[in-house]
Chain A
Amino acid sequence: MAEVKFEEAMKKLEKIVEDLENGELSLDEALKKYQEGIELSRLANQKLESAKKKIDLLVKNKKGEFELRPFQEGDEKED
């Protein structure tokens, strides 16, 4: 679950909340969903707090393929 993105976690969480609110689950299923939901909420919160912005430059390599290269603030070239 390490790679779960914020919006994915939110979407999954939304789905779980809806399922639970529909009230058609067995207690066992509900408990499982609830635990999963709490974990997603925790993850999303973590993402929200700890996420780091990422800026890449789109460059073409020698083979003419696109590549992303990390963009360092301050290494701008003058235009």
Chain B
Amino acid sequence: MQTRQVYKVSEVTRDIKLLLENTFGQIWVEGEISNFKAHPSGHFYFSLKDENAILAGVMFARANKDLKFKLEDGQKVICFGDIGVYEPRGQYQLVIEKIQPQGVGSLQLALEQLKLKLEKEGLFDPGRKRQIPYLPRNIGLVTSSAGAALKDILKVLERRFKDTHIILNPVRVQGQGAKEEIAQAIEGLNLFNQQARPQDRIEVMIVGRGGGSIEDLWAFNEEVVARAIYNSVIPVISAVGHERDWTIADLVADLRAATPSAAAELVIPRKEDLSQRLDELTERLVNAFLEMAAGCKENMENLIRRLSLGAAHIRELNSNGLISLLNKLNLLNPAALIPRYQEKVLGLAKQIYVQTEHFLKIQQAEFLKFSSRLSDLNPLNILNRGYSVTFSQDGTVIKEASSIRPGTMIQTKVHKGEIFSKVTEVKQDG
């Protein structure tokens, strides 16, 4: 007799699990979504069904976080994943790794879904579009600092009006984090305006990038970017280099340019156009003034004619007199004299300088000579050499013997001290 094999529930379940998982491995399954539930944990639970059958499906948060479009009941999808068995419930299910809509691409579907949503909210409302300012002084730019868009815009600037200030808020335009960076940069330019002086405020901004594949441009189809453009106080020109398709950013923006170059051309006028406008204005200015002057001249001529009718000879006299007066005045015109006098004054000043210097030099030499003589003449120096000087009683210096009589007192000053003596004899020379 055959031995009866008794399985435990978990044993048979494990065997089924192994059997199923080994049989199918990873598979593609197509079907329609039903009973879709997004769990707060981030996991998606739904069923795939067709006319005859139903298959439970789960898409864990790890797998669905990069999903571009929203899953909805009734959607026809193709899923890729493993058939797994959830033992606690004894349930087999498809553990989905990838999912894509059937018919349209997933990106396309996401785009359509978002478009519909934003349109309902009025983000594309044509009545909301603002005027792009003419000849903006400060232009904001949200793009990559290394990308083609910046190069193209700078190239446009090169051949257009250069008195333009570009404020670049650099971002990554594709890849992870690009959409957030773009949205923040748009916001950043608006915040900058709040703290900037009025003349530094950004009047218009260009948001975009150079051409690329639809995936490369995807950041400009993201909701966060659309909302940032919508909320921008500064008018926005979108410039996503993709002539054929409009991105969501294009739909929200106040103005759509097909390329960054086109955007720059929309806001930066051509030099020739400005030059032409300036020429026109200048011509009108001159004409208006000439016309006015001509009117005045005519008035004056009328007056003169009337005057001349009555008093031709007086006028002649007057004008003769005037002319001679004018000639005289001209000769006396102080303005003409100033340079001449200036030259003269300069010449004089130079002479004075030269002469003073010369004079000072002579004076200095004289002074030196004089002071050495003064030193020779110092009486003390003479006494020093053995000479003496003699004074009479009344204090005068005795220069002649005859001025002294014998018997009088005299006083002799020598180098050191004085001698008082009585004159015994006077002898005169010659």
Contact = CB atoms under 8 A, between A and B. Distances in A.
A48 B275 contact: yes
A31 B288 CA distance: 11
B292 A53 contact: no
Interface in A42-79: 44-45, 47-48, 51-58, 60, 65-66, 68, 71, 73, 76-79
Interface in B121-150: 135, 137, 140, 144-147, 150
23 contacts: A10-B277, A10-B278, A13-B281, A13-B282, A20-B285, A20-B288, A27-B293, A34-B289, A37-B282, A41-B285, A51-B164, A53-B154, A53-B162, A54-B166, A55-B154, A55-B165, A56-B165, A58-B169, A58-B189, A71-B145, A71-B166, A79-B147, A79-B171
A25 B291 CA distance: 12
Interface of B: 135, 137, 140, 144-147, 150, 154, 157-158, 161-173, 175, 188-189, 191-192, 195-196, 271, 274-275, 277-278, 281-282, 284-285, 288-289, 291-293, 296
Contact of A57 (B145, B164, B175, B195): B145
A48 B271 contact: yes
B154 A77 contact: no
Contacts of B293: 27, 30
Interface string A23-40: 101010011011001100
The 9 A-B pairs with the shortest beta carbon distances in the complex, nearest first, are A51-B163, A20-B288, A76-B146, A34-B289, A51-B162, A41-B282, A76-B145, A79-B172, A37-B285
Contacts of B145: 57, 71, 76-77, 79
A77 B274 CA distance: 35
B288 A53 contact: no
A27 B195 contact: no
A52 B162 CA distance: 5
Given A6-B163, A17-B281, A38-B282, 10 more contacts: A6-B135, A20-B285, A34-B289, A44-B278, A48-B274, A54-B164, A55-B154, A65-B195, A79-B144, A79-B175
Contact of A5 (B137, B167, B195): B137
Contacts of A68: 167
Contacts of B278: 10, 13, 41, 44-45, 48
Q: Give the interface size bracket for A toward B.
A: 35 or more
Contacts of B163: 5-6, 47-48, 51
A13 B216 CA distance: 47
Given A10-B281, A17-B285, A71 B195 contact: no
B166 A13 contact: no
B168 A17 contact: no
Interface string A1-29: 00001110010011011001101010100
Contacts of A56: 165-168
B168 A58 contact: yes
A39 B7 CA distance: 104
A33 B292 CA distance: 12
A44 B150 CA distance: 27
A37 B171 CA distance: 44
A6 B158 CA distance: 17
B168 A55 contact: yes
Nearest to B291: A23
A53 B158 contact: yes
Given A48-B275, A58-B189, A53 B285 contact: no
A66 B191 contact: yes
A45 B285 CA distance: 15
